[in-house]
Amino acid sequence: MTERLPCRSEGCSATILPATAAKTGGYCMPCKQEMERAERQRYIEQHRRDIDLYEGITDPVEILKIMHAPVKRDPLIRYIPYHLKREEVYSTLSADDADRMLDVGLELLESGDEDTCQEILVSLICYRNRSLESCIPTLMERGIYYPGILFKDASAHSRDELLQQVEQDQDNRNHLLLALAWIGDDQVVRRFQEWRSDPPFWAEELYVPPEAYTHEGGWELTENGSKRRLFYHDSYAIAKIVPSESTYVAEPEPAHFLKKDSAFCPWCESSLTTLADLDISHPKLRFLGLSGERLRVTTCVNCSCYGTIYMDVDFHGKSEWSQANMKPEYVPGPDSGEDDRSFASAGQSFRLADHPRNSYYAAYWALGPAVSQIGGYSAWIQDAVYPSCPCCSRSMTFIGQLDWEQIEEYGEGIYYMFLCADCKVTATLFQQT
């Protein structure tokens, strides 16, 4: 039997054949490979160079073109990021620059890069609220109907073409209905009302009734067939506080987030969490149109992952577990280990932004920026879901969301908050990929 030799690495207990030792200098293969990896890493660190793709470039359109372009990955190159995020560059575009960026997107579409074109077009809508009517005919010619937000603010001519096509185009009907929901003008509202009153032959092919598609556009049909918006146009980002050395005492904040509640979840027995505690009398939050002092949106962050949770409120700080709550088939048990409260401290570093932003800034979750906000259109990860109020059965209005990616290092998913102001009921639900 061939005698095995100990590996030369200090602390390694492996033994190797003499033939292997001759090839590796006396090291086992894992140790040899680790030595080679470390040597490679030392070489990279010694020879890596910084490259600033933005050096000397001031034109925001050229900057965005670089941001959207694929970057060659090379371990010997470290690319210096631009000092502004992509969405910040979009937000500062002039009207002329937005038009130029639209042309860039269409040129990419012409070259076959539909994905980057879509990313640019959606960015112009979300960050600049730029109408895409001038390019909608091109999108329709190419059979591009998704995402529906591309058709927001479409002209009457484009709308009529879509209304005609939805009756005939079975393959694209789902996306066509979403596009129409985003247009949502008087004619579209009337047509959805007609489809509700007299379902078309193709309604049986859908998973939901035609009128349910209106939720994707942020509205619903009332009983009398009129349009009721389900979100607020005003929108304030929930941003991290930048530490300051100033001794200036700031005004009281209009909103606080992720506060531990004294009550416990009757399902999993963990502490409830106040996702948002809002001073509804503050000028920033008057757009909510509520009379009172405080609105607390409380939930169980564990159980709301499995179903909608309702709370009874009074606009004076009360938030109590609603008897309307229906326990899901599964909720985490008291000893499941899911009651991790490490996120609570993160709430102390969040505040409402000083200035409002575009209503649709966070409307397309796939763009990537953190989307925590009060007001505005919601960033749906899955389908749009506006809970029905347990008291009046109307769809509840979206009032805010917390992006868990902002809160925990490896967090994901979004908690959505809703309110029925008439019945004084809040609801929360959770979505993730």
| DSSP result, 102-133 | HHHHHHHHHTT-HHHHHHHHHHHHHHH----G
| DSSP result, 305-363 | GTS-EEEEE-SBS-EEE-TT----S----TTSS----GGGGGGGGEEE-SS---TTTTS
Q: Is 125 part of any domain?
A: no
Percentage of the chain beyond pLDDT 90 is: 87
Whether 290 and 216 map to the same domain: the answer is: no
Q: Tell me the per-residue pLDDT of 209-221, one tens digit each, with 9 for 90 and over.
A: 999 999 999 999 9
Q: Is 247 part of any domain?
A: yes
Side chain identity at residue 416, one-letter code:
Y
Whether 275 and 220 map to the same domain: the answer is: no
pLDDT above 60 for 223: yes
Segment 67-87 mean pLDDT: 93
Whether 212 and 152 map to the same domain: the answer is: yes
- Give the CA distances from residue 201 to residues 164, 180, 192, 195, 198, in Å, rounded to whole numbers and listed in that order: 15, 18, 14, 10, 9
What integer pLDDT is reported at residue 250 of this predicted model? 60
Q: Tell me the per-residue pLDDT of 355-392, one tens digit each, with 9 for 90 and over.
A: 999 999 999 998 977 799 999 999 999 999 999 999 99
pTM value is 0.89
Are the C-beta atoms of 121 and 133 separated by less than 8 Å? Answer: no
Whether 281 and 421 map to the same domain: the answer is: yes
pLDDT above 70 for 49: yes
Number of domains in the chain: 3
Write out the two tokens for 207: 């998973």
Domain boundary among 40, 65, 80: 80
Whether 215 and 251 map to the same domain: the answer is: no
- Report the C-alpha gap between 123 and 360 in whole angstroms: 10
Whether 172 and 38 map to the same domain: the answer is: no
Dihedral (Cα; 289, 290, 292, 295), 10-degree rounding: -120
Task: Quote the domain boundaries for residue 16.
Answer: 5-80
What integer pLDDT is reported at residue 3 of this predicted model? 86
Whether 247 and 150 map to the same domain: the answer is: no
Q: Is 251 part of any domain?
A: yes
What integer pLDDT is reported at residue 244 of this predicted model? 56
Q: Tell me the per-residue pLDDT of 323-351, one tens digit each, with 9 for 90 and over.
A: 999 999 988 877 555 556 677 777 888 99
Residue that is written with structure tokens 């190419």 in the block: 142
A 10 A CB-CB count for 432 gives 11
pLDDT above 80 for 245: no
Segment 307-313 mean pLDDT: 97
User: If you average pLDDT over every residue of the chain, what do you get?
Assistant: 93
Rounded-to-5 percentages of helix, strand, coil across the chain? 35, 20, 45
